[in-house]
């Protein structure tokens, strides 16, 4: 049987990677009873992917991640393969996941799930053949045969009994899958799935070459030896030392107004960066940022030591905005010391990547302070479990 899912359209690339981990836990629960495969939802039309004149829909996962690595954790296929195997662009059952209309009342937390009337207007409409049309990752020919709403409160595997007993549909899609929580956040199952999310090799090669050419950084010198088989890669925290540069993720754009208390001014960020470079005796800083052109020009003036991955048009067309973001994360993950942006999932994913590579948490879990923050603590960190 085929399990498909989608996420609320405004959610970004790195939150969607987190939802994948939750759905992987659900699939593992289903596999204890029946044969299921996860159909990877094609990427596209995300808020942060704003480069004009580039086709950025219906992007397969293989553009960004190594599929054989994912498959060592759970069985996965691309959407195109699902279309070929399942006999056409039809999804038999679509469940739209939603919260409970009455909300959660204080007291004992309980996990529950119920088929309920849809709270919000459905993002699906019936056509003249009684099929449901919707976004379906940009595949306009795809149709849903049946759509209903489930109110959910709990971890991903709470939905397993519904899929196993309440529907005989061969293909089931969970829309708004971000409403499901992690089964075991930070546990062995979480880390196995996270470690299986190996970046596509062509993106890692580009990042590695950039490190070597502009940052004097190689795996041998940095002690960041990488095993292509994630199941065989076991490192001790503190063994990696990283390249001779500071890694920085400086979130701007919507964070300036959406999280203004957590984001420093440009001058405040530069002051912090200079302080960290002096403390760790580093002469280069690699900055990943979504800052607008005027701000990046200002950064270049204030920080002549700054290095950025600035793709050519051909590279942008080839790797797309998602691939460029991965290259940025890969380079940040190999830095001697990293500091990120509070509550940013982009920074969270770099934290995890550095954990996998074996960096000391003290060099990883650091963040910029907002202008008015007096006590700027490290973000919470965890220990990887093999």
Tokens of 109: 């937390």
pLDDT digits (tens, 9 = 90+) for 82-95: 999 998 999 999 99
Strands (E), 1-154: 2-5, 37-40, 76-78, 90-91, 93-98, 112-116, 125-126, 132-133, 143-144, 147-153
Annotated catalytic residue within 11, 352, 353, 355: 11
CB 186 within 8 A of CB 26: no
Give the chain's radius of gyration (CA, Å). 22
The pLDDT > 70 percentage for the chain reads 93
Give the CA distances from residue 94 to residues 75, 257, 312, 330, in Å, rounded to whole numbers and listed in that order: 21, 36, 41, 36
Question: Is 364 within 8 Å of 351 (Cβ atoms)?
Answer: yes
Which tokens go with 316? 């942008």
Instruction: List where CATH 3.40.50.11350 sits in the chain.
Output: 199-363
| Four-way CATH pick for 2-189: 3.40.50.11340, 3.40.980.10, 3.30.450.370, 3.20.20.70 | 3.40.50.11340
Question: Where do the CATH 3.40.50.11340 domains begin and end in the chain?
Answer: 2-189
Which pLDDT score, from 0 to 100, does residue 176 have?
Answer: 98
Name the CATH architecture for the domain at 199-363.
3-Layer(aba) Sandwich (3.40)
Contacts of 120 by beta carbon, 8 Å cutoff, 6+ apart: 98
**Is it the case that residue 382 has pLDDT exceeding 70?**
no
Per the model's pLDDT, the better-predicted residue between 266 and 212 turns out to be: 212
pLDDT at 262 over 80: no
Would you place residue 105 in the very low, low, confident or very high pLDDT band (cuts 50, 70, 90)? confident
How far apart CA 250 and CA 67 sit, in angstroms, is: 30
The model's confidence at residue 257, banded by pLDDT at 50, 70 and 90, is very low
Annotation says 85 is catalytic: no
Buried b (16+ CB within 10 A) or exposed e, 340-378: bbbebbbbbbbbbbbbbbbbebebbbbbbbbeeeeeeee
Mean pLDDT throughout 330-354? 94
Task: Extract the runs of DSSP E, i.e. beta strands, from the chain.
Answer: 2-5, 37-40, 76-78, 90-91, 93-98, 112-116, 125-126, 132-133, 143-144, 147-153, 171-175, 243-250, 285-289, 306-307, 335-339
168 confidence band (pLDDT: 50, 70, 90): very high
Helical (H) or strand (E) element with 274: helix 266-279
The Cα angle at residue 163 between residues 160 and 168, in degrees rounded to 5: 155
d(CA 370, CA 375): 10
Model pLDDT for residues 110-161, shown as the tens digit of each residue: 899 999 999 999 999 999 999 999 999 999 999 999 999 999 999 999 999 9
């Amino acid at each position: 049987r085929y399990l498909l899912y989608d996420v609320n359209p405004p959610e970004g690339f790195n939150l969607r990677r987190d939802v994948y981990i939750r759905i992987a836990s659900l699939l593992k629960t289903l596999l204890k009873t029946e044969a299921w495969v996860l159909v990877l939802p094609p990427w596209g039309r995300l808020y942060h992917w704003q480069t004009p004149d580039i086709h950025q829909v219906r992007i397969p996962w293989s553009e960004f991640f190594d599929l054989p690595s994912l498959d060592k954790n759970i069985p996965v296929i691309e959407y195109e393969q699902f279309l070929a195997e399942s006999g056409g662009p039809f999804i038999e059952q679509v469940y739209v996941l939603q919260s409970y209309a009455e909300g959660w009342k204080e007291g004992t937390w309980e996990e529950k799930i119920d088929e309920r009337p849809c709270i919000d207007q459905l993002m699906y409409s019936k056509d003249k053949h009684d099929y449901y049309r919707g976004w379906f990752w940009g595949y306009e020919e795809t149709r849903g045969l049946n759509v209903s709403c489930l109110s959910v409160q709990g971890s991903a595997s709470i939905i397993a009994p519904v899929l196993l007993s309440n529907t005989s549909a061969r293909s089931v899609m969970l829309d708004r899958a971000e409403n499901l929580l992690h089964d075991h956040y930070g546990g062995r199952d979480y880390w196995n799935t996270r470690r299986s999310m190996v970046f596509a090799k062509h993106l890692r090669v580009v990042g590695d070459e950039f490190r070597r050419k502009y940052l004097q950084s190689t795996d041998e010198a940095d002690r960041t030896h990488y095993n292509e088989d994630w199941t065989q890669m076991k490192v001790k925290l503190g063994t990696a030392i990283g390249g001779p540069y500071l890694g920085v993720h400086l979130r701007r754009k919507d964070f300036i107004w959406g999280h203004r208390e957590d984001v420093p001014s440009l001058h405040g960020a530069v002051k912090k960066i200079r302080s960290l470079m002096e403390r760790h005796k580093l002469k280069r800083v690699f900055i990943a940022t979504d800052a607008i052109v005027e701000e990046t020009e200002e950064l270049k003036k204030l920080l002549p030591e700054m290095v950025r991955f600035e793709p050519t048009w051909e590279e942008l067309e080839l790797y797309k905005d998602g691939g460029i973001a991965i290259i940025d994360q890969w380079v940040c993950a190999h830095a001697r010391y990293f500091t990120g942006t509070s509550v940013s999932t982009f920074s969270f994913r770099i934290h995890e990547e550095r954990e996998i590579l074996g960096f000391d948490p003290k060099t990883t879990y650091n963040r910029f302070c907002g202008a008015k923050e007096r006590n700027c603590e490290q973000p919470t960190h965890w220990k990887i479990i093999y």
